[in-house]
Amino acid sequence: MSEEAAGDALDMEAPPIEVRGLVSRFGANIIHQDLDLTIPRGEVVGVVGGSGSGKSVLLNTIIGLREPQGGSVRIFGQDIRYAKRRQWTAIERRWGVLFQAGALWSNLTVKENVAAPMFEHTDMRKGEVGELADLKIALAGLPAGAGALKPSELSGGMIKRAGLARALALDPELLFLDEPTSGLDPISAAAFDTLIGDLSDSLRLTVFMITHDLDSLYTITDQVAVIADKKIVAMAPVRELEHSDHPWVKSYFQGARGRAAADVGKAETRHGAR
């Protein structure tokens, strides 16, 4: 490796995500103030918060779609505000993103959507890309014929899985999920949770998952980070958050829906299912 390239290398021993003192605002409206968050390597971390708490703003800031008004965001040790082009390329090769609505290109087939990151970031030949795209489609739990379909021909659950296949295209170490079970029926949501849990274990993924789905929190997360009062007010395994004294955390996890999810979670948790 050249001296210049070595200087641009990411620190693979650093936490995948480190946010320090984040400030986010829209005009005079402050969304985040002095928000700190560290995502440990190899964990599935759920991120929850009330409406308007800035969950998606946080995600968009971490992946560079929005500039913070203060603080820092480091990915694998690299402050993204000062990342050079080749550093950004290295970062993007190590993460995958599943947006809430799938964000698939409507004029491309599922296979073409999944292949797009490979053509952008690798020198693989067309045949190799096609074979790998088929593998990712299967890995996401889609039927063999799904690759030839356009997004308009897919069900909501299939769109989520197609978006996941594209997010996995480059064998990422870090996976971002924005409301992955939103809009799915309970059976499809449970199947998607199982898929994410299996993939995170088998591929050793670090997962940053925005969700309001209590069942997901109980079944596949290692920890849950709670956004309230414009910052992270708690980060702990979901069972510990059940005993929090913070008003929002208490109402979220000790309300009727939270208690119901907790009862279901007793039967099958992420660690208990292993």
Q: Which long-range contacts link 29-37 to residues 24+ away (Cβ below 8 Å)?
A: 30/230, 31/57, 31/230, 32/57, 32/58, 32/227, 32/230, 32/231, 33/230, 33/231, 34/71, 34/230, 34/231, 35/71, 35/227, 35/230, 35/231, 35/232, 36/231, 36/232, 37/225, 37/232, 37/235
Asked if 244 and 250 count as a contact pair (C-beta separation under 8 A), the reply is yes
pLDDT of residue 10: 62
Instruction: Render pLDDT for 174-187 as a digit per residue (tens, 0 to 9).
Output: 999 999 988 888 88
Asked if 216 and 60 count as a contact pair (C-beta separation under 8 A), the reply is no
Sequence-ordered list of residues with C-beta below 8 angstroms from that of 7, at least 6 positions apart, any chain: none
Positions of the chain with pLDDT lower than 70, given as ranges: 1-12, 101-102, 255-274
pLDDT of residue 100: 75
The residue with tokens 């795209």 is: 133
% of the chain exceeding 70 in pLDDT: 88
Return the sign of the alpha-carbon dihedral for residues 228, 233, 237, 239.
negative
pLDDT of residue 156: 82
Asked if 225 and 62 count as a contact pair (C-beta separation under 8 A), the reply is no
* pTM exceeding 0.75: yes
Instruction: Render pLDDT for 78-105 as a digit per residue (tens, 0 to 9).
Output: 999 888 888 888 888 899 999 876 678 8
Burial class of residue 175 in the structure, from the number of CB atoms within 10 Å of its CB (0-12 exposed, 13-18 middle, 19+ buried): buried
pLDDT of residue 172: 93
